[in-house]
Amino acid sequence: MRPLEGIMIVSLEHAVAAPFATRQLADLGARVIKVERPGVGDFARNYDRAVNGESSYFVWLNRGKESIELDLKEPADAKVVQAMVERADVVVQNLAPGAAERLSLDAETLRARRPGLIHCSISGYGAAGPYRAKKAYDLLVQCEAGLLAVTGTRQDPAKVGISIADIATGMYAYSGILTALLARERTGAGARLEVAMLDALGEWMLQPVYYSHYGNRAAERTGARHATIAPYGPYRAGDGGVVFLAVQNDREWAALCRETLHDPELIDDPRFRQNTDRLANDALITALIESAIADMNTAQIIDHLDTVGIACAQVRTPAQFLEHPQLAARKRWRTVEAPGGPFAALLPAVSFHGQEAAMGPVPALGADNESLRREFVGTEPERQPVRRTNTTAKLQI
């Protein structure tokens, strides 16, 4: 029996944050019913066609779920979702600001009838304050949280290459729901959870916030180099490749001086004695390191650094990550079915020994329309042509 078997989740979700949270729950065995707009569905279905004709975002975020198309403004469909909610353990929603209240699917309304219900609302900026109705997408929240001030080169800011604000939000929603389920086991009471993207990414930003504010120094963009630790970043190999290495403390600096730079006198050189000294003289250290490794190729440098105990890494592309030898050796990949065909999926980061994650198929839009209607209201939908709308439209109910 998987940890969350028997738990039912109804999710009015789209894009990344909420689907990322509910997918983690589905992997743990929860039943996740995904409510989608008729004819369009979650607009993440149409971000691209990279995975056998399916969206890379959608197949990543939605395995193991059931899909039902419902127009929540139509009384018959509203009756279906209300029937599902009456049997749900958890409701998750990241609809447009105010939409859940207009549809009577907000926490206050639903929990008045069922105090044991766990209700999780995900938003960009929270339910109060001057930004409460402001649209929030991942890159925009990265801007508001100060992330672009510390990401990129000195000349140009850069976004993080993944949906980091959405992912942070989804993980806090996931852990919050798990916490609420544990608390309900102890007390019988449900919970009202709220997760804002600005808060989630803001938590991850506090180190540079503190460093800048309390250190009275402007935020810096340092490219691929660490902003506050040196040496820590990319170094050119003799074959033109790039190797990353990291020195975290004085002991490791001493090892680098002896084993790689072959100059023990640098250990106590006042320019490099402590991390703050090394950070101030990072350009000098870079020249020393690149001179020392100029006669070695990338593979030789990695092997040398591993041997002498200096943390290091080679730069891989996303495609190369799929072939990572460490993941292959640990058998971390599984095959998951999707409407367009099977694809490779990475096992959840937390492994339950002796128990495989569920990792069910990715649903086609409305794949469970008939079965879910029969289960919850005892009828099937009337056979009417589906009115197709712009597939890139945002879910603004």
Which of 33, 108, 24, 94 is CA-nearest to residue 345?
A: 24
Which of 194, 14, 177 is CA-nearest to residue 89?
A: 177
Strands 191-196 and 232-236: unpaired
Catalytic pick among 14, 119, 213, 226: 226
Please enumerate in sequence order all residues whose Cβ is within 8 A of that of 70, keeping only pairs 6 or more positions apart, or say none.
Answer: 35, 36, 37, 38, 77, 78, 80, 81
Which of 12, 56, 16, 10 is CA-nearest to residue 136?
A: 16
Quote the CA–CA distance of 232 and 235 in Å, as a whole number.
9
> Is the sign of the CA dihedral 89, 93, 98, 103 positive or negative?
negative
Quote the CA–CA distance of 265 and 269 in Å, as a whole number.
7
Quote the CA–CA distance of 358 and 45 in Å, as a whole number.
22
Does residue 226 carry a catalytic annotation?
yes
Quote the CA–CA distance of 358 and 3 in Å, as a whole number.
10
With left for phi above 0 and alpha for psi between -120 and 50, is residue 233 left, alpha or beta?
Answer: left
Quote the CA–CA distance of 35 and 67 in Å, as a whole number.
6
371 token code pair: 């079965």
Quote the CA–CA distance of 189 and 183 in Å, as a whole number.
7
Quote the CA–CA distance of 93 and 10 in Å, as a whole number.
9
Residue type, 219: A
Quote the CA–CA distance of 173 and 186 in Å, as a whole number.
20
Per the CB < 8 A criterion, the answer to whether 107 and 192 are in contact is: yes
Distances (CA, A) of 237 to 247, 260, 282: 18, 13, 17
108 token code pair: 């206050």
Active site residues: 226
